[in-house]
Structure 1
């Protein structure tokens, strides 16, 4: 019995919708229909729990904004990138295979990503988690179709950032080797040209006890980052169209760093009042 089949048997009782994914992997024909959910901005985040997805190039800030919204709305933030890194650090059966893929800037296969994601969703189901905010998934039409069969997605937030700022941010990413916190040492200050405003993003520096423990991700070299951005751009358009056609895509151009972008993102999501209420009760 292969690893995927063993994983499925372990979680099928709790996360039965994943049968659709397993059938697709094994070659069976798969189809799914979607009911029109109406404008995504009308859904109540305080109801059944949000089921959102963040799209965007590597380094755009999906993890940062997804984590902030996770805390604001009280739903888990699930990063497929973190799931991959956890598996890499675990010395599990996929670790060696994943190391070769990641170190060459290649995309991890649908089968591996889905096995890790289903394992995480199964864990959440046992804890009665309500909703989730995914980031880093889906990256292909096939993944988007599989995800629609596993859980109902309300909204897809597509973060956009100019490429020169993206490259600087990716090369500035750091991880605390002790606590696993994500930080960025890049100070982006791009002068505006041809009528475009200046673009400024301050670094996201660690607290003092993490400053001496920062490490660079093994895949955050200039060559690998450029290759990753090229691959993403080639593959992202169909996924964007997939969700745009279903009325679920919200495109958001980041105007700068967190101080400039966070309030405007909340406004775009109709969450300004929600943020005010949480701040008042804190």
Structure 2
């Protein structure tokens, strides 16, 4: 990962920008598996190097963090890196606060600087492999990443826009412990042959209830603007990885109880989780 950090630093003058913020799985997933792009995980082999794509609020962090624990690799979320910088007294905090609160874009220079610092810190601790969440967001970023490492798999999580808006507006953070929750109870009727989608709220424990806060950028106008910008920027990135043959498109069928087993199946990790559970 040292090479990645060095190239990220040398590429930080890029002019591209980064955005902060319904079948069980599609035919694309089946096709990808049939082409042997997804092999069974070998815990003795090189740790995975995966990327998670998807609109703001789709659940990239939730599923990437679960896979991080299962596979023993770091989950690196660039959105978290930005929020950590926002909460600090560093030189970028005021600049980032203005950008995020306006629903605008953060430059590659800033994102690459934060990601480079995170990779160097991980290397010093002996980390190997990664699951990137929120990077890349542009083709230029994808090209930079491609120059320094081999990405095994890119998972593109998908949900209808009306569900995404409800999820984002329901997000809450405990101001004391920092954990994320969601108060939205989502029940959306499927249209045009698509199935219904139901998601139960992820409610906080009693000690967190009075300490819940809403992210400054989780207002409906900002959420819809974030989704508009993401959709505008994401298609070329999806095409970039689709053309490389390592894009897995996964339509979330519902909340975590419904989606997690299906995602593991699509990733060929269902047997691996069973083995891990048996030895735990």
TM-score with structure 2 length normalisation?
0.88
Q: In 2 relative to 1, CA 193–26 (structure 1 residues): closer, same or farther, beyond 3 Å?
A: closer
Unaligned 5+ residue runs, structure 2? 15-34
Distance 1:161 1:218 in 2: 23
Partner of 2:23: none
Partner of 2:38: 41
Partner of 2:227: 229
Distance 2:242 2:130 in 1: 20
Distance 1:126 1:139 in 2: 27
Unaligned 5+ residue runs, structure 1? 1-13, 28-37
Cα displacement string for residues 140-196 of structure 1 (whole angstroms, at most 9, x for unaligned residues) = 011111122333211100000011100000101111111211111110011234443
Q: How far has the Cα of 1:40 moved from its partner?
A: 3.0
Partner of 1:8: none
Partner of 2:249: 251
Partner of 2:207: 209
Q: Secondary structure at the match of 1:179?
A: coil
Distance 1:173 1:213 in 2: 13
Q: Please tell me whether residue 54 in structure 1 is matched to residue 52 in structure 2.
A: yes
TM-score with structure 1 length normalisation?
0.87
Partner of 1:187: 185
Q: Please tell me whether residue 18 in structure 1 is matched to residue 16 in structure 2.
A: no
Distance 1:45 1:225 in 2: 39
**Preserved contact between residue 53 and residue 153 of structure 1 (Cα < 8 Å):** yes
- 1:59-98 equivalences under 5 Å are 59-98=57-96
**Preserved contact between residue 173 and residue 216 of structure 1 (Cα < 8 Å):** yes
**Preserved contact between residue 172 and residue 185 of structure 1 (Cα < 8 Å):** yes
Q: In 2 relative to 1, CA 195–17 (structure 1 residues): closer, same or farther, beyond 3 Å?
A: closer
Find 2:130's aligned residue among 115, 129, 132. 132
Partner of 1:218: 216
Distance 2:178 2:148 in 1: 29
Q: Secondary structure at the match of 2:136?
A: coil
Cα displacement string for residues 77-98 of structure 1 (whole angstroms, at most 9, x for unaligned residues) = 1110000000000010110110
Partner of 2:143: 145
Distance 1:68 1:16 in 2: 27
Structure with larger RCO (C-alpha < 8 A, sep 6+): 2
Q: How far has the Cα of 1:240 moved from its partner?
A: 0.4
Partner of 1:117: 115
Q: Please tell me whether residue 158 in structure 1 is matched to residue 156 in structure 2.
A: yes
RMSD: 1.6
